[in-house]
Amino acid sequence: MILAFNKPMNVLSQFTDEGKWPGLKHHIDVPNVYAAGRLDRDSEGLLILTDNGKAQARITDPRSRTPKTYFALVEGTPEEAALEALRGGVTLKDGVTRPAEVAQVAAPDWIWPRDPPVRVRKTVPDAWLRLTITEGRNRQVRRMCANVGLPVLRLIRWSVGDWTLDGLAPGQWRQL
């Protein structure tokens, strides 16, 4: 069994609660499924869950190069040099990232209001990027964007492989 879940902001990618942060058990009442990969507490979007260990390994193994597409609201105006750096791979503390597919895009028309709202500064512009990576390092998209001078204000994973968030509201799940 494979489930797609639209993980809301401030929900952990595990079934147990931790301190003030709720786990998946508040949204998913399906026994014996586990997250195939993670999304940080402060990230939103598609989380794949499965009861199949081989499927979980295939989805999360960096050697499988499963593409993951994110929409990131970044602080600042992306310059072409920053986008090219992301496309070529950037050097982080844990090594050089694989090249990413990156484009500046309009705000997605499917976006939902975030709770809590994104901090917006009237004197600092922001922009949306669509990024596709084939790794899954800890906080990778945030660290890559920060590395090129574009701190992430909001991060939503849209897809994992061929699976997307299409039609899933925050906190909802469906069987794939």
Q: Is 40 a catalytic residue?
A: yes
Quickly list DSSP for the chain. -EEEEEEPTT--SSSS-BTTB--GGGT---TT-EESS---TT-EEEEEEES-HHHHHHHH-GGG---EEEEEEEES---HHHHHHHHH--EETTEEPPP-EEEEEPPPTT----SSPPP--TTS-EEEEEEEES---TTHHHHHHHHTT--EEEEEEEEETTEE-TT--TT-EEE-
Which entry of 40, 94, 109, 126 is annotated as an active-site residue?
40
Known catalytic residues are 40
